[in-house]
Amino acid sequence: MDWCGVVSGRVEDKFAGAGLSPAPALKVGCPIVLECPLNIECRVRHSLSLGSHTMFVAEVLAVQVSSVLLDARGRLCLEKAGLLAFAHGGYFALGRRIGHFGFSVRKRKGRR
C-alpha cells in the first residue's frame, strides 16, 4: 500500500511492481485490484481546486467485496480487513472497538 502510494503509475507499472493483478471493473473503464478485498468504483461529480490540492466529490457506481469481509448474513465487516490509520506520516494499527455511532444520545434501559 505504501509503495503504491509513493510511486507514480506514470513511471512504474504498479500492478507488476506490487505483485497485484488487474481485473475488469463493472462500471468504470479502469481496472480493479483483484487482491484487494474491497473495490469501490466511482465517477467524479465535482472537483474543487483548493490551491495545494484538488478535492474530488465522487458518486459510487459499484462495489465489489470479497466474501472474507462478509458475515453470515452478508453484512460488510470492514474490521476484518485489518484496518489501519494514517496520521502525521505514520501508520497505526487500530485497536478494539470502543463505541458505536450515536451511543452518547441513546437512552439507557430502565431510565426515563
Ligand X SMILES: Cc1cc2nc3c(=O)[nH]c(=O)nc-3n(C[C@H](O)[C@H](O)[C@H](O)COP(=O)(O)O)c2cc1C
Residues within the interface to ligand X (CB under 6 A): 2, 5-6, 8-10, 86
Looking at the Cβ atoms of 7 and 70, the one nearer to ligand X is: 7
Looking at the Cβ atoms of 15 and 70, the one nearer to ligand X is: 15
Looking at the Cβ atoms of 90 and 95, the one nearer to ligand X is: 90
Instruction: Count other C-beta atoms under 10 Å from residue 32's C-beta.
Output: 19
Grid coordinates representing 42 are 466511482
One-letter amino acid at 66 equals S
How far apart CA 101 and CA 89 sit, in angstroms, is 27
Whole-number minimum distance, CB 4 to ligand X, in Å? 6
